[in-house]
């Protein structure tokens, strides 16, 4: 077999403008990785979006907003292929082939299915059940070798590895084993309930900081962040989740270690420290916010970026998929 090409693949669901957790957990990592490898693909996962109910007009806008935001954060289409998943039909075609070698009990055991199915009165759809198979297809279609994932997706990457192994055993060595690139950033928690992770769908508006928030909104959200009754700033996620979340955010945004951040916070009470953290987030997001505004004014530019990316992704996928067709006996 020919030498394995180092190739990074990652996807983001188009939920609109990303929040602080998406930015620190994924996008910041993406910006770094596009410098590190000569073959990098980043996909806006619009097909995955349909696994939860979506209004078409909302999905359309979310795709554009997500694209504007990741470009504003520093993703450069000259250094990676940035594209919309649904513009490359081979994703769905390969998902069908891979679904035919994946057993249902394995999918039923995945915690995401159990959780999301329960949230829909246990009336989960076929798409919700099989979306990890589509995820495996997303990765394997390009013979990707490294996949930046959040900790909530590790089991899905393991499924992709198992599917690749199963395919290789059945049809001959073909897919390289994709390995996880785990984000070193601690999961960012909700500012209103530090037991929960920060989420776009949080009903409490003050819980989630978005990259396009104004400085005033950011200050308000941090001022109201839930902490505890000790005024000293320490890092202890078990017993002091609220303050520790602020310390994590501060460290991630400034690029400093937890230890260095705590040295800076020495002598500050939590109320004052909240403003220090808010300020560091404002500093980080100000240029991004301005760039998002500029990009959102030119909808056609955003559409073109995604279409150009899809053309390049198709060029890469087509010969690999042709070979898969031949291996399974379609050709």
User: Which active-site residues does the annotation give?
Assistant: 116, 197, 200
How many Å apart are CA 145 and CA 19, to the nearest integer?
28
**Cβ pair 141, 167 in contact under 8 A:** no
Instruction: Report the SS3 class of residue 182.
Output: strand
Give Cα 114 to chain centroid, integer Å: 21
Query: What is the phi-psi region of residue 262: left when phi exceeds 0, alpha when psi lies from -120 to 50, beta otherwise?
Result: alpha
186: Cβ contacts below 8 Å, ≥ 6 apart:
237, 248, 252
> At which residue do the structure tokens 């199963």 appear?
166
Q: How many other CB atoms are there within 10 angstroms of residue 260's CB atom?
A: 13
135: Cβ contacts below 8 Å, ≥ 6 apart:
11, 48, 153, 156, 159, 160
Closest CA to 43 of 100, 90, 4: 90
**Cβ pair 35, 187 in contact under 8 A:** no
| Angle at alpha carbon of residue 310, lines to 309 and 316, rounded to 5° | 95
| Angle at alpha carbon of residue 79, lines to 46 and 320, rounded to 5° | 60
> At which residue do the structure tokens 């097909």 appear?
47
How many Å apart are CA 248 and CA 72, to the nearest integer?
23
> At which residue do the structure tokens 């009903």 appear?
203
């Amino acid at each position: 077999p020919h030498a394995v090409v180092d190739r990074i693949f990652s996807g983001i669901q188009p939920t609109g403008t990303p929040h602080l957790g998406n930015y620190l957990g994924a996008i910041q990592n993406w910006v770094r990785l596009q410098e590190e490898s000569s073959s990098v693909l980043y996909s806006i996962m619009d097909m995955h979006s349909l696994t939860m109910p979506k209004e078409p007009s909302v999905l359309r806008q979310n795709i554009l907003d997500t694209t504007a935001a990741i470009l504003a954060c520093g993703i450069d289409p000259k250094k990676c292929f940035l594209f919309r998943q649904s513009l490359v039909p081979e994703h769905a075609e390969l998902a069908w082939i891979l679904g035919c070698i994946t057993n249902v009990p394995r999918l039923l055991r995945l915690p995401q299915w159990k959780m999301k199915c329960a949230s829909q009165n246990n009336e989960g759809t076929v798409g919700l059940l099989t979306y990890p198979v589509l995820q495996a297809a997303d990765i394997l279609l390009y013979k990707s070798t490294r996949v930046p994932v959040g900790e909530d997706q590790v089991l899905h990457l393991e499924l992709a590895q198992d599917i690749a192994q199963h395919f290789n055993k059945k049809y001959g060595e073909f897919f390289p084993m994709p390995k996880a690139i785990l984000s070193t950033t601690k999961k960012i928690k909700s500012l209103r309930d530090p037991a929960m992770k920060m989420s776009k769908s949080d009903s409490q508006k003050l819980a989630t900081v978005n990259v396009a928030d104004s400085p005033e909104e950011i200050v308000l959200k941090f001022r109201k962040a839930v902490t505890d009754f000790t005024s000293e700033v320490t890092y202890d996620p078990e017993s002091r989740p609220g303050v520790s979340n602020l310390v994590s955010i501060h460290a991630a945004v400034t690029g400093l270690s937890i230890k260095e951040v705590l040295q800076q916070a020495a002598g500050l009470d939590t109320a004052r420290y909240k403003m220090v953290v808010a300020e560091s987030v404002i500093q980080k997001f100000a240029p991004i916010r301005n760039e998002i505004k500029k990009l959102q004014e030119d909808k056609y530019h955003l559409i073109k970026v995604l279409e150009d990316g899809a053309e390049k992704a198709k060029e890469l996928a087509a010969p690999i998929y042709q070979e898969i067709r031949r291996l399974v006996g379609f050709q």
